[in-house]
Amino acid sequence: MSGETKAGATRARVMRSGESFRELGLLVFIVLLSAAFQLRNHRFFTIANIEDLLTNTAILGILAVGMMLVLITGGIDLSIGATIALAGMTSALTGVAIPNINPFLSILEGMAVGLVIGSVIGLLVARFKVLPIIATLGMMNIVRGLTYIESKGQWVSSYQMSAKFTALSTGTTLGVNNLVLIAVVIFALFWYFINHTRTGRRIYAIGSNPEAADVSGIPRRRLLWLVYATMGVLAGLAGVLWVSKFASAQGDTALGYELNVIAACVLGGISISGGSGKVSGLVLGTILLGMLNNALPLINVSPFWQQFIQGVVILAAVLTNVAVKRNNQRLALRKREI
């Protein structure tokens, strides 16, 4: 047994160091990249730009938290772009109908819309065993269709929005921009939830071994539903904030944005097959992606390259994960004394 224990302990050590290596690598990469961007365009490190970067990344971060929950359970959610659009459009239209509505109510409204969508997806996946890719692919289109119909093909633009509404995203509280504050609070709550509460740990469990979860009395289906409902609520919140920030609501708001969110998670080391992923990685991945989205236009990379780069980033991140895992396995095998 000693040989196997040593291998087990070595493997554990190698794996753990592999993860921290990854995060260190991300951090180093972020630092190097910002230096490179700054060199190419001195406007990168200006207050205005950093603010812009942070507020955009804030929205990305809010969504990434939800997506991380979904990914940990081994699922995926392609519908969040559409949810953002519907929630944002609904709150914007309500704002048009009821001018000067309390912006908090708008937020609640958006979250409610998101909750409904997320709950439906959760029901499909948890109760009816529909594959997440299929459920969210279908819902993505249903919700997007509903958005177009609700908007009647029109835009809601800034002059139709109350100052209070747009101040949601541009205003500050305690000196910090609202969006950033909201994102930080959400990250903090999430970190605590996923690492220190029973429910949070159970979510890792159902991603790690769904069958075992069923058998050992963990309410797998309820938790799975909860995860997608949470993603929906966060997407709804992000929808209202988005529309507030960009001061416009249209049928194709956030079209394809879910891919950005997935990219941020994958970069942060969240495993696509479920069961693992750390919040520290998520933060780094989100910042890195936010940086890329912000800086690429600054260094004159044409917007038409953005999608291609995004795809390459996802593929590279995912392949890197694979390479690291294979290397770990190879090392562990070599350590086995035969």
Partner 1 sequence: MSERSISIDRPRSLGRFFFQWEWLLVLIFVIVNVINSALSPFYLDVGNLVGSTNSFLDMAFLVMPMTFVIILGNIDISVASTVALSAVVMAVAFNAGLPMPLAVILCLVVSTACGLVNGFLLVKFKELSAVIVTLATMIIYRGIAYVILEDQAAGHFPKWFSFLSWGTIAHVPFILFVFAGCAVAFGLLLHKTSFGRKVFAMGNNLTTARYSGIKTDSVILVVSALTGLMAGFTSLFLCSRMGSTRPNVALGYELSVIAMVVLGGVSTSGGSGRIGGPILAVFIIGYLNYGLGLVNITANVLLIIVGSLLILSVLVLNVRLGGHRRPAPPAAKVIAAGKAPDEKA
Partner 2 sequence: MPETILELRDITKTFPGVRALDGVRFELKRGEIHALMGENGAGKSTLIKVITGVYQPDSGEILLDGKSVAIRGPLDSQRLGIAAIYQHVTCYPDLSVAENIFIGHEKVNPVTRGIRWKELYARVAELLESLDADFDSKALMGNLSVAQQQIVEIAKALSSNARIIIMDEPTAPLTKRESEDLYRIAEGLRDRGVSIIFISHRLEDMYRLASRVTVFRDAHFVGTWDVDKISRDELIVAMVGRSITQLFPKRKVAIGEEALRVEALSRTGYFKDVSFSVRKGEILAMTGLVGAGRTEVCEAIYGITKADSGRIFLEGKELRAAHPSEALAKGIGYLPEDRLKQGLVLEWAIAANITLPSLERFSRLGWMNRRDEELKARELSERLEVKANSVHDLVATLSGGNQQKVIVAKLLVGDMKVFILDEPTKGVDVGAKAAIFEIMNGLAAAGYAIVMVSSEMVEVLGMSDRIVVMREGRVSATLDTASATQETILSAAMTTATAVATENA
Residues at the contact surface with partner 1, assessed by CB under 8 A:
74, 76, 124, 128-131, 133-135, 137-142, 144-146, 148-149, 259, 262, 266, 271-275, 302, 304-312, 314-315, 318-319, 322, 325-326, 329
Q: Judged by CB under 8 A, does residue 322 bind partner 2? A: no
The angle subtended at Cα 57 by Cα 53 and Cα 59, nearest 5°, is 130
Residue 152 interacting entry, from partner 2, partner 1, none, C-beta within 5 to 8 Å by type: none
Decide if 285 contacts 264 (C-beta within 8 A): yes
> From the CB of residue 1, how many other CB atoms can be counted at a distance below 10 Å?
6
If binding is defined by CB under 8 A, does position 152 make contact with partner 2?
no
Q: How far is the CB of 302 from partner 2 (least distance, A)?
A: 41
CB of 119 to partner 2, least distance (A): 23
In the block, tokens 């750390």 appear at 278
- Please check whether residue 135 is in contact with residue 121, taking contact to mean a CB–CB distance below 8 angstroms: yes
| Cβ proximity to partner 1, 159 vs 308, nearer residue | 308
Shortest Cβ 88–partner 1 spacing (Å)? 17
Cα-trace Rg, the chain: 21
In angstroms, the CA 251 to CA 94 distance is 15
Q: For residues 298 and 316, what is the distance between their CA atoms, to the nearest angstrom?
A: 23
Nearer to partner 2, 175 or 211 (CB): 211
Show the binding pattern over residues 191-230: x = contacts partner 2 (CB under 8 A), - = does not. -x---xxx--xx-xx-xxx-xxx-xxxx------------
Q: Which is nearer to partner 1, 36 or 333 (CB)?
A: 333
Distance CA 207, CA 276 (A): 8
Q: Give least dist CB 43 to partner 2, A.
A: 43
Maximum separation of any 2 CA atoms in the chain, in Å: 76
Nearest to 69 by CA among 242, 196, 215, 193: 193
Q: Which residues contribute to the site for partner 2 (CB under 8 A)?
A: 1-5, 7-9, 11-12, 15, 192, 196-198, 201-202, 204-205, 207-209, 211-213, 215-218, 275-276, 332-334, 336, 338
